[in-house]
A = this chain, B = another copy of it.
Amino acid sequence: MQLRVGMVGYAFMGAAHSQAWRTVNRVFDLPARARMALICGRDAGKVSEAADRLGWDASTTDWRDLVTRDDIDVVDVCTPGDSHAEIALAALAAGKHVLCEKPLANTVSEARAMAAAAAAAQAVGVRSMCGFNYRRVPAVAMMRQLIADGRLGVVRHVRATYLQDWIVDPQFPLVWRLQKDRAGSGALGDIGAHIIDLTQFVTGQLISGVSAVTETFVRERPLPAGSSGLAASVDGDGHHPSVGPVTVDDAAVFVARLDGGALATYEASRFATGRKNALRVEINGSLGSVVFDLERLNELEFYDATRPTAEQGFSRILVTEGEHPYMSAWWPPGHIIGYEHSFTHQMRDFIEAVATGVDPTPSFSDALQVQLVLDAVTRSAELGSSWADVEPALVTATA
């Protein structure tokens, strides 16, 4: 069985997804094979070049054609958040399985519409998934399993940060990720969304309310000479015609309650000097604790309080054994994997779900739940940190 993939977007996420589509069937034994059929971008020359470099059979500039073509089975949405809803809805309407990058959308209403459409499509065997790829890091999957198995007892504390520092320099230009109309929000939606999803995933609990503070430390930045995500840079002669306003948050911090009774703190920032991709999560339960750090993603620290007191300690588990999630397909123990492997694992699970006719997770509904938390954070911050409840995402399939 072959799944012909059409991907929209070819920047950072597009490259990461390409590497994963290219690799997944070489490493995992799966009931279907992905074919990198078609890639779509706005600039014909650049997307053609990308197709050649990344290994896609063909390229196009017309995403509406891509999502409706008969020779495409899967649509992979890797564009900025402002176009997710339109593309994904069209693809679902055309009966394509959809993998959509996170955050699902830039607004709750868009996300709600997408979740409803996905629920409707599901009824006719069309699958959809949101790309919270970190769920597929083996150590994260293991963390979830330990908690599900009761190894942590009652979860008391969640402590989650996602820290980066790529815009500390006030001269870093005003790329699309700093513009609300394109990105929806700043650190909050870009990286905060990851720790919201990840902590809900591993604990099996939902955030029920938040109190938040957000900040934009640098409110005006040089306009980019030509921006393409993180790679944007000052033009050759250092001259910028003008500056523009930063319309998203640089950082967001919030306290939260989870519906299972835990207290939580969250922080997402692009101003944490020295922290490059520091997604760190610690969870304390009545019987144990776990700690994860994305910059050392092959490791999981596990504290088992049921062991004899004198021997208790945080164990640094190298999550590279055949017994660990996803790892039997890779190298011998101790031979580490990298960031990109989380995407390969995501594609593995997506392909398997589609080929075997089950719904992959996280669903669009799961992703809507994240969107509702993002929305609560924004509301709380706007209302002077007052408590904002998070409503549960009750999704009804679109008629």
Residues 305-351 of A contacting B (Cβ, < 8 Å): 305, 308-318, 320-321, 323-324, 331-341
A257: nearest residue on chain B (CB-CB)?
A: B213
A309 to B157, CA, bound (A): 27
* Given the contacts A22-B22, A255-B255, A257-B213, A159 and B161 also touching, CB distance less than 8 Å: yes
Give the residues in chain B near A256, CB-CB below 8 Å.
Answer: 213
Q: Show 14 residue pairs from A and B whose CB-CB distance is below 8 angstroms, ordered by the A residue.
A: A18-B26, A26-B55, A156-B217, A156-B273, A157-B272, A159-B267, A168-B305, A211-B212, A255-B255, A273-B287, A275-B334, A310-B324, A312-B317, A385-B386
- A306 shortest CB reach to chain B, Å: 10
State which of B16, B25, B273, B310 has its C-beta within 8 Å of the C-beta of A286. Answer: B273
Q: How far is the CB of A234 from chain B (nearest CB, A)?
A: 14
9 A-B pairs with the lowest CB-CB distances in the bound complex, closest first? A276-B334, A277-B334, A274-B303, A313-B315, A338-B338, A313-B317, A211-B385, A335-B339, A337-B338
The answer on a CB contact under 8 Å between B318 and A295 is: yes
Contacts of A314 in B (CB 8 A): 274, 315-316
A259 to chain B, nearest CB (A): 14
Question: Which of B285, B297, B338 makes the CB contact (< 8 A) with A341?
Answer: B338
Q: Roughly how many angstroms separate A166 CA and B273 CA in the complex, as a whole number? A: 33
Bound Cα distance from A332 to B275, whole angstroms: 12
Interface residues in A, total, Cβ within 8 A: 96
Q: Is the CB of B288 within 8 A of A274?
A: yes
Convert A189-228 into 0s and 1s, putting 1 for each residue whose CB lies closer than 8 angstroms to a CB of B. Answer: 0000000000000000000000111010100000000000
Copy total for this chain: 4
Give the interface SS of chain A, mostly helix, strand, loop or mixed: mixed
Distance to closest chain B CB from A127 (angstroms): 25
Interface of A toward B, CB cutoff 8 Å = 12, 16, 18-19, 22-23, 25-27, 53-55, 142, 152, 156-157, 159, 161, 163-166, 168, 211-213, 215, 217, 230, 251, 253-257, 261, 263-265, 267, 269, 271-278, 284-289, 294-298, 300-305, 308-318, 320-321, 323-324, 331-341, 384-387
Give the distance in Å from the alpha carbon of A384 to the alpha carbon of B385 in the complex: 10
- Pick the most buried of A22, A217, A255, A324: most chain B CB atoms within 10 A of its CB: A255
A78 CA / B342 CA spacing, docked (Å):
28
| Residues from chain B with Cβ under 8 Å of A276 in the complex | 318, 320, 332-335
Residues of B within 8 A of A263 (CB): 213, 215, 251, 253, 269
CB-nearest residue of chain B to A256: B213
* Min CB–CB distance A73 → chain B (angstroms): 21
**In contact, B157 and A251 (Cβ under 8 angstroms):** yes
Cα of A341 to Cα of B331 in the assembled complex, Å: 12
For residue A339, give the distance in angstroms from its CB to the closest CB of chain B.
Answer: 4
Smallest distance from the beta carbon of A35 to chain B beta carbons, Å? 13
Q: Is the CB–CB distance between B253 and A274 below 8 Å?
A: no
Interface centre among A25, A26, A269, A305 (most CB of B within 10 A): A26
Query: How far is it, in angstroms, between the C-alpha of A295 and the C-alpha of B166 when the chains are bound?
Result: 26
Taking the closest CB of chain B, its distance from the CB of A343, in whole angstroms, is 11
Q: Is the CB of B309 within 8 A of A313?
A: no
